[in-house]
Amino acid sequence: MLALASAALALTPPPVRRPAPALLRDRQPTWSNPQGATLTQIREDVWLAERPFYPTLPGLQGTDVGCKMCVVRLPDGTLWVHAPVALDDALRRALAELGEVRHIVTPNTEHQKWAAPWILEFPDAASYAPPGLREKKPEVGWKRSLEELCDLGVTSSAPPAEWGGAIQLCWLKDRVPLTSVPFFNEVVFAHVPSRTLIVTDLWWNYPSSDDVPTSSKIWKAAMDNIYRPVYNRLMRGPNWDESYDTIMGFDFDYIAPCHGEPVATDGKAVLARHLAKIAS
């Protein structure tokens, strides 16, 4: 009987997110933050700050496209923050319970909106700009560029020692269709101990459940049926395949995206299908 129970437990897929304590369920639940939590734990030493996000682009102001910040607690107990969202007092308190913010990462050119206030809030933290952006926008105050870390061109043999060997990175170069102009210019990360791939705009997973507003569903349809094929056919930049192989060489199963639901199992196959490397 015990053996059967153990086998059943082993077959149970891991949860996408862990239940947030009541103390952290302090905001309105939405499809983009289903627990209404300030911080949601997804893996050991990995949390998401899940937030609604309404773009300022014409026609999208009323559409919640969702936005997630990822927080990793490094082996030395300090916090590594990816794609920061708006800071508020509840988030400040929740982070202070976890550790000291020492690393602020802006992973691509799109998710830079809150970089400056975070850098001001945590002046002792190292802050990292996506490749090329520090030179273009010095006023933000990034101390370093992720490009400096890519000693092998698109990836790094030795990420910063302060990351404690817990984080890998790979630069995935894209471009505006039919030009050589970078578009998102994203750097992808993997948290080694939890086998979590952390992506920004490379992959999204908008749910289609009933509680998702119609406008968000339309956005998902556009991303899936218009943006995705354009990306896969026309937007892969130099060394893209080399980067893809590097990322697939990371040991991950879970995917933590900035947009939509995380995936708790089979992450490599999910990403490969999304990028048209295997059949959907």
Residues of this chain that bind Fe ion (CB under 5 A): 110, 201
Q: Shortest Cβ distance from residue 9 to Fe ion (Å)?
A: 36
Q: For Fe ion, give the closer residue by CB, 64 or 201.
A: 201
Q: For Fe ion, give the closer residue by CB, 44 or 224.
A: 224
172 and 190 Cβ atoms separated by less than 8 Å: no
Q: Shortest Cβ distance from residue 203 to Fe ion (Å)?
A: 11
Q: For Fe ion, give the closer residue by CB, 24 or 188.
A: 188
Closest residue to Fe ion, Cβ-based? 201
* Distance of alpha carbon 199 from alpha carbon 257, whole angstroms: 5
How would you list the strands of the sheet with 40-43, edge to edge?
A: 40-43, 46-51, 67-73, 79-82, 101-105, 126-129, 144-145
Q: Shortest Cβ distance from residue 49 to Fe ion (Å)?
A: 14
Q: Shortest Cβ distance from residue 54 to Fe ion (Å)?
A: 13
Q: For Fe ion, give the closer residue by CB, 125 or 258.
A: 258
255 and 270 Cβ atoms separated by less than 8 Å: yes
Residues counted in the chain: 280
User: How are the residues of the chain apportioned to helix, strand and coil, as percentages rounded to the nearest 5?
Assistant: 30, 20, 50
How would you list the strands of the sheet with 196-198, edge to edge?
A: 167-172, 186-191, 196-198, 254-256
Q: Shortest Cβ distance from residue 51 to Fe ion (Å)?
A: 12
Q: For Fe ion, give the closer residue by CB, 212 or 258.
A: 258
